[in-house]
Structure 1
Amino acid sequence: MAPIPQDILPQHPRFQLNSSGLAGFFGGDEAIAAMNTAQYYKGRKFMGFYNSPGGFRMAKHYGRLAKSRIWRGFYPDVYLEPHEVFSLDGGPGKMCPDFLGARTGVVMDRTGHLGYLFLKKMRHRASSKCELVKSSRKATKPVKVTIVDLGDIELPANYIHRPAPLRRRVLLVNAFTVLASLAASIISGLSKDWYAFYLILLGIIAHGAACFILGSGSIEVRLVPPPKKSPRGDGLMTMEGDIMIVLGKEKEVFQITRGSISVEFPAWVKWNGYFAVGACCLLLMLQLLVQLFLIPQATLFGQILFLCSFGVSFLCNTYLSALDKEDLQRETLGDKVWNVGKNSVKGYTFQNWTTMAIAMLYVLRPTKDGVAEQLFNRLLPNQTPEWKTFKKDIFEVYDSDEAIEPIARAEPSDEPSDEQRVVVQNMYMDWQDAVNFLHGYKKKDASQLDDNTLKSGGDQQVLEKLECA
């Protein structure tokens, strides 16, 4: 066998970090989540000059703001409005509560982001002091209900701009990240690794420009003035099993159910179909391409510095994305959209769904012109003969203004079958529990209900139906 020439074997192979794939795709979700908080911190738009990972994901996400045909080829996805890009269109999966007006009968399958923020906040407040409602029978499906009494607010002309507050801790974290990227770039230049120097500097400029442009917007809340003559805005809000009763004037309820929140950009950002946004997103994409080709050309020390700047920036983005953006939004809104006093939120846990449905019917007191039946059927959609008879008995004595009248004994044809006798008994026991709940609710908050809502006859009519069942 012929000997192998020694000069064709590498004697001192050069070690290289394959960080090209890490350059634009790593940390994209964290970078987007951090950028979505730029409007909630005063001075945050000036603190984005650091070499951040995830530039490609950011460009594809925010590039959908650009309307011009110039950018359609680069960002071919569907064009989005600012409130959609910055996740101000509901909760996860665009989840929003629905609303049913107890006085007006209005039905809204989707309220909006303000309704979502309101329901989540009030539910959290009520969970700390949730009262257990007693039941006469075994619990079947416990359900939590929040009752909120809205206070008065002053409505401006059309909309309100909310200035971002100053948060020193966030600015300090950003300042440290900026200094870390600048230090990595300077050290690369001093070591004469110009590839690493220019790549880190390019990342600083690209992310800083994007943060300055996208962070130039301000939070805007568009309010909806109600009709001059309108009934109370009391209603029922539901979202994935969460049930909330909203009590207040139509003026206050309108803002929660019909108001909207978005990000309003200055004219120079919106010029020519958000041209500035498209340009900064294009710079982020070019940054990825340049990094893919030039990172392998840097020295090992320069690549380590590049990755160190990425690591510090990733930690900063993770810190910003870990902050609850919903709390930031509610803090930014302040008391301009809703005004809820310290003792105006009450939470109750009902042992059975039927008790809850009847109790909420009595608390809301919708008018008996179809709205009461609509609301009750929304909570109790059961349509078997026994349930129809039970609902009929409830509405025979129901009145939105006066006390519950004694109910007549059911006809023999309305008697339940032997198989349904226990079920029917439970229905009327739940009715009695709802009446008992209303007694206690009246005593705790007499201003919300009329003193004559229930009389002794209300208990007697339920007992008669229990005997009949």
Structure 2
Amino acid sequence: MGKHFRRLARSAKVDIVYDNGSESGTASRSQTVHIDPTLLFEHEGWSKGPAFKGIFSGTSIYATGPLASQLIKKATKEDCRKVDGRTTQPVNVTVAILEQVDSLRQQMTFNHRSPPLAIIPIVASLTTCLTCGLYHQWYAFSMILVGILARGFACLLIGSGNLVFDHPKPAEGSPPGDGVLGSEQDFVLLKGNEYVVNAVTRGRFFFRFRSKYACCMVEWCSILLIVQAIAQLVFIPQSKLFGQLMFVVSLAFSWAYDLWFSSFDKGEVQEAIFQQVLGKPSLIKFVFPNRVSAVVFLLLVSNDNPRTSGNPRKLKKIMDIFLPSNSEVWEIWKDTITERLKNRQALQFSDTHWNREELPLEDDRKLLKTLFGDAKDAEKAYAIFKSHDAGTIA
């Protein structure tokens, strides 16, 4: 535990906050200390999210925040609609419609009370410590007392901080924040304004301490915890059997509480924080039989925003990211699809679209026809998405 606190001390950053005076009109400075909670709580709830590619903003983020990770987990559990078509490797696509909730702020503070059972190891430690004192078991008495003080100071330090969620505010007039989260076989399309999307992709958690001495306090806590562990190894064997028994009883209660607390369902806390920031976003999931249909569907859903005019350059850039092939057939197909999206035309094609003079090889024409068929399958899925109908696409 002492090593964890030493890592916390090294991650601490001192920031200067300016508060505007309401009466004098002057600004006063105050120092706060920010500490990264991922160094203390090493569980999946604080893991980073996947990469993000903005469709209209051009944003590219290689590692997103913990809310993105939580959203991905929700998407994996969502019921899906199956899309029929040319089968290669299935790709999951979830459309997350993000609405701005009233509780969303640029900086939010979360407070959670300690569970009532936390009193049990405290009472057990105090009882065994007093019992050792009454029976003159001073080695065990001193070691239990040092443990109470060391862990007590550590808990007071962490309890004095606030868990804060922070995300940047976009500039006025920013384009829609639509973008794609995910990996090779799992995509989550975020639809919403830039402010809400930033909360998912760039939001971060940290502990904030108002005291500028928090860095020193964390360092001293780490030293005290390390000294406590070493002293117990030295002095407890010198105590008599009764003192050793009292120490083991105190330790057993602490271990039992730590075991119970580690098994506590942290998902409820994570879900509560998620809902305060994002509410309950609507998730609609499809399983596409191939990557081409999945990417075209992403562009179709993004292109229905009235604020966008189907910029072919940006749409083709997204195509190049997720479909990196740049052969002549693929370039013809990409240019045709982006032009249709720009003009908001249906993805319906005939022989003249793939029997091109610039493609003398029959295999190239067959490939282009196949790609146009994949785009048509994506348009069928888009029609179901618009109507919010469930089922399998025929």
Structure 2 partner of 1:162: 110
CA distance in 2, matches of 1:185, 1:111: 47
Conserved 8 A contact 2:68-2:200? yes
CA distance in 2, matches of 1:373, 1:385: 14
Shift of 1:191: 3.7
Shift of 1:145: 1.7
Structure 2 partner of 1:397: 340
Conserved 8 A contact 2:176-2:194? yes
Per-residue CA deviation, residues 43-80 of structure 1 (Å, 9 max, x unaligned), is xxxxxxxxxxxx44344433435689xxxxxxxxxxx9
CA distance in 1, matches of 2:347, 2:50: 31
Structure 1 partner of 2:25: none
The letter for the 1-side match of 2:263 is A
Structure 2 partner of 1:9: none
Conserved 8 A contact 2:4-2:39? no
Shift of 1:189: 3.1
Identify if the C-alpha distance between structure 1 residues 117 and 302 changes in structure 2 by more than 3 Å, giving closer, same or farther: same
Identify if the C-alpha distance between structure 1 residues 321 and 290 changes in structure 2 by more than 3 Å, giving closer, same or farther: same
Conserved 8 A contact 1:90-1:96? no
Conserved 8 A contact 1:177-1:313? yes
CA distance in 1, matches of 2:284, 2:314: 24
Per-residue CA deviation, residues 321-351 of structure 1 (Å, 9 max, x unaligned), is 333546524423542x22335xx21122222
Shift of 1:244: 0.6
- Is 1:376–2:319 an aligned residue pair? yes
- Is 1:216–2:152 an aligned residue pair? no
Conserved 8 A contact 2:160-2:209? yes
Structure 2 partner of 1:414: 359
Structure 2 partner of 1:313: 254
Residues 58-77 of structure 1: pairs in structure 2 closer than 5 A: 58-65=4-11
Q: Secondary structure at the match of 1:398?
A: helix
Alignment: residue pair count: 364
Structure 1 partner of 2:279: 339
Q: Secondary structure at the match of 2:57?
A: coil
Q: Secondary structure at the match of 2:93?
A: strand
Shift of 1:211: 0.9
Identify if the C-alpha distance between structure 1 residues 400 and 117 changes in structure 2 by more than 3 Å, giving closer, same or farther: farther
Conserved 8 A contact 1:217-1:264? yes
Structure 1 partner of 2:200: 256
Gaps of 5+ in 2: 15-32, 390-394
- Is 1:140–2:85 an aligned residue pair? no
Identify if the C-alpha distance between structure 1 residues 370 and 279 changes in structure 2 by more than 3 Å, giving closer, same or farther: same
The letter for the 2-side match of 1:177 is P
The letter for the 2-side match of 1:412 is E
CA distance in 2, matches of 1:376, 1:412: 24
Identify if the C-alpha distance between structure 1 residues 392 and 409 changes in structure 2 by more than 3 Å, giving closer, same or farther: same
Shift of 1:88: 8.3
2:223 to 273, 282, 285: 282
Conserved 8 A contact 2:95-2:283? yes
Larger Rg: 1
Q: Which is richer in strand?
A: 2
Identify if the C-alpha distance between structure 1 residues 350 and 381 changes in structure 2 by more than 3 Å, giving closer, same or farther: same
CA distance in 2, matches of 1:240, 1:316: 41
- Is 1:360–2:298 an aligned residue pair? yes
Shift of 1:356: 0.9
Shift of 1:196: 1.3
Structure 2 partner of 1:112: 65
Gaps of 5+ in 1: 1-54, 69-79, 446-469
CA distance in 1, matches of 2:317, 2:38: 36
Shift of 1:297: 0.1
Identify if the C-alpha distance between structure 1 residues 90 and 249 changes in structure 2 by more than 3 Å, giving closer, same or farther: farther
CA distance in 1, matches of 2:194, 2:300: 20
Per-residue CA deviation, residues 298-319 of structure 1 (Å, 9 max, x unaligned), is 1233223323322321232232
